[in-house]
Structure 1
Amino acid sequence: MKIVFIFCARHYYNYDDEQFGLNFLREKGHEIEIWSAVNWRYYPKIIEVPRNVHSGELIYIDSSEELEKRLNLIPRDEKVHFIVYAYHDYCKVTEKIRALIVKHGFCFSNLTEASDIVEVRFHKTKLFYLFKECYRILQLLVYGFRCMLPKCSPEIVERRDYFLSSLRGPLLYKSQFNFVRCRNAYNYFPNYLEVFSKRNVIIPHTDYTYYLKNKEIEQEKPIAVFIDEYEIGHSDWVKIGKDFPIKDSKKYFEELNNLFDKIERTFSVSVLIAAHPKAEYSGNEFGGREIIFGKTAELIASSKFAIYLYGTSLTNILLRNRPFFHIYTSMHTIDNPAYKYIEKVNRILKTKLLSTKEISDSLELEEYINVPGDSMDKIISYYIVDSKSSKTDFEIIEQCISGCRS
């Protein structure tokens, strides 16, 4: 079977083969293609292609005409299945993508993004989602009315179109499956009526796959790992129209390196940098410390403890029950776009926050170590994996779509 991944709102990066199970699917004998509609989706916001975008295999789809052309090239007797990522990003463009796939007679499945720890919400019933969808319909009516008024702004039209697409798209262009990365990802559904669908298949968080593959590597080494979020240039901030969290990179790295120096002296460890997949570093930012790409899960598994700001790599810390420092810098003030993430993680996990601004010889670092413990089981079940399944995310996906008609 040919499996075509369509990334609606992102490029295809160098370390995506593992994240999206491409190596596993190829081993199962499937032919893989990767299409990206990121330029079409965000035009004209994104112009430059990051240096760490995967070269060679990526096909850019920049318009509906280009997508039609690609779909027409697929023989009608070929067994093919489209996986459209991410499900929550429903707008006129991503609705059109699904509409054209259906028009050409092909099957597709939606894949949700792995939810963020700051979005963890407990005890949500289906009645809750029903009321939430009613509220969205009300918002659509309000924006529709405002669009009829004189001097209606483009932003109002854009919001109306968003609510219209997210309401009708999932109902008009039904997927074969909605692959939902744990229960918390229901919060990402564009149309909450789809929460009731029998086509939903719960799969684990991406990092659970790494955990299963590397359960045996927990040989603690004298290292601490800093989980980098590439705050000086992460492209996701550009896509949502916000400034990078860190503008003064010199001060940022100075504070981090002061902390790393103290950690190394206090605990007799070496601090390694688990670089964000989208990071583009020269190599000198962290005081000559080793910067490692694509090995975050393995580094956490073998580390003495982790150094964490915010982000989805918290899953590896929780699954490994690894002690960690929860840090923030002097630049993470209330007006910083990353502040809410740090604050929410602190509130949800009740962490002891360590400010890099307060590093001194007299500071007792031991007092700021957080240990996950059994209290995290509930968060793990909502956010990472419903039950400790022996199957990875793409083992479940492959099993489902292999039985689909083309």
Structure 2
Amino acid sequence: MALDIKASRPYPALFSLPWSTPLEEWPADRLAALPRGISRHIVRFARVDGRVLAVKEIKSDIALREYNMLKQLRRLHLPCVEAIAVVTGRTAPDGSPLDACLLTRHLQFSMPYRAMISQTLRPDAATRLIDALAVLLVKVHLVGFWWGDVSLSNALFRRDAGEFAAYLVDAETGELRDQLSDGQREHDLDIARVNIAGELMDLQAGGMLPEDMDPIEVSNTIVERYHELWRAITDTERFDASEAWRVEERIRALNELGFDVGELDITTDIDGTTMQIKPQIVEAGYHSRRLRHLTGLEVGENQARRLLNDLVSFTASKNRQNDDEEAVARDWLATIYEPVTRSVPPEMRGKLEPAEIFHEVLEHRWYMSERQRHDVTIEQAVVDYVKHILPTKPDEKNVIAPDTTPMQMDLNP
């Protein structure tokens, strides 16, 4: 059987990988050691042409299906890993067949939930990760994706302006439909609740959670958080026709949650005394799209919200409210954002994303001003942050030493 590589773009370097060797036996010099979690499949992180790719060994039909599903989800602008290629037709030197491999691009600055909890060291870390997973579940359900295996293990997490953002990394059980029924959505929630409870029990047994934390009680929070978000995004609202301003209020509320409203269904009763509104087209990523339009920056949703707020403050401080918005944004980028991110020494730039560093500098400036009881400039804040705070942060981008714990297995897709 001939080796076949189906790739999203020309990638000649893929042919150099040892496809005739079972994935778990790949030589260390071809691999990158990254934080590991739990997976039902063998996964390795390979260095390919200056990039790090996650390689998952699975049956060819499953690999091809997941490759196509991930591409569809990316086209729908959902937060998930990028599918790079599927390699089929693998054979060992003795001619015996080997499973196919799915390759995805490693998501920089992301970590599995175990590594995130162990590095965060905050008692509410597990709850915050579950909140992020609930947001991700709402996003995928809005476009009609039934996940089928929702869990902390099947997502990766990145810091997002002090919170977490979740990214889907395993789509092999998922189905994409025009719309999900309430029963399908609740099925996904039941799967999530059971899986998360088991994952938290495992963490608790390993001493990674407070002893007084009830894994079942905490796992139930994904149901509460999901329903809260879903109602805010999809519920029909009735009000008096004289309160038409509430239409704009509903749109602003959805924007604050990070969702953009493409269409509203607005109806009135026969005598025109009452109105009802229901969002028809809701898309995630309102703040990140707006920031990208103004500055070209690609950042997380919460990071974008924080940067946009700083841009508003900059506009007011320069009395430029009547100037062209894009011109002001370019000046903010050149005089505020870029000088701060460039102030980080090269050896520390792998610790956090630039946008997360900028967010932390703003936080640090606020605390410094409060402590010193006078306004601290952003230049003073970044100097103090780089000297005293950033060196204490774990490195979340660069390759770290491999984890040799026997019970811990690989995670990415």
Normalising by structure 1, we get a TM-score of 0.30
Calculate the TM-score normalised by the size of structure 2: 0.30
